[in-house]
Amino acid sequence: MTISLTVAGQPYPIPSSAADVDWAAQQVAFEQAVAVALSKGAAIQVLSTNATVVGNGADTTEDDLMSFILPGGTLATGQGVRVTGWGNGVSTSDVTTVRAYVGANDVFAAVLTASQFNHWRAVFELLNVDGSNINVGGEVVTSGAAFGSTSQLYAVEATAAISLGADQVIKFTGQRASTASANSVKQYGMIVEFIP
């Protein structure tokens, strides 16, 4: 008796024993068919989560917070990733800034200038246009800790020339402008999801 699994209308025989001489070829064909089927109709998949709280250093330079390395070749044309990050800043009039990058490209810079704007959350998607260009869209919200406090919404829209055949770092950074105070900008979480 022959058992087979069907993927995208094509049957793939399952070897009955290790002695099956076609086992390797059947296994490779099956795995390739599954990969293609998943890339065409798979649900969004989580690539990375990070919940280790991190803050900027005791300096006035731009410091990396959380990051994720997107391996080269991960995204086919039309595929993308969704990045979500959140955190807070200190309650001060000294300018503090949170930024996001894809490779060397600055996706957004949100300035937290007043005490009521000390919480932030950013969500953006990047899509592979043709392997060397991306489209980015999303939003950044800043607000105070109390319900009903003043908030601001920043729209994020950008295009960038970037090689998705090479590894690219997706990251958030934090910076305080004039006072060398650690943890002026903190990041509490980051999620990266694959969009097929």
Instruction: List the chain domain ranges.
Output: 3-41, 45-195
pLDDT-derived band at 34 (thresholds 50, 70, 90) equals low
Min mean pLDDT across 5-14, 62-71, 129-138, 140-149 is at 5-14
In the predicted structure, residue 41 carries a pLDDT above the cut 90: no
pLDDT at position 147: 59
Q: Are strands 133-143 and 119-128 parallel, antiparallel or unpaired?
A: antiparallel
Tokens 């000390």 label which residue? 118
The CATH code for residues 45-195 is 2.60.120
In the predicted structure, residue 20 carries a pLDDT above the cut 70: no
**pTM score of the predicted model:** 0.75
| Average pLDDT score over residue span 68-87 | 94
Name the β-bridge partners of 173. Answer: 64, 99
Q: Between 102 and 43, name the one with better pLDDT.
A: 102
pLDDT at position 194: 94
Tens digits of residue pLDDT in 120-177: 899 999 999 998 899 999 998 887 666 556 677 777 788 889 889 999 999 999 999 8
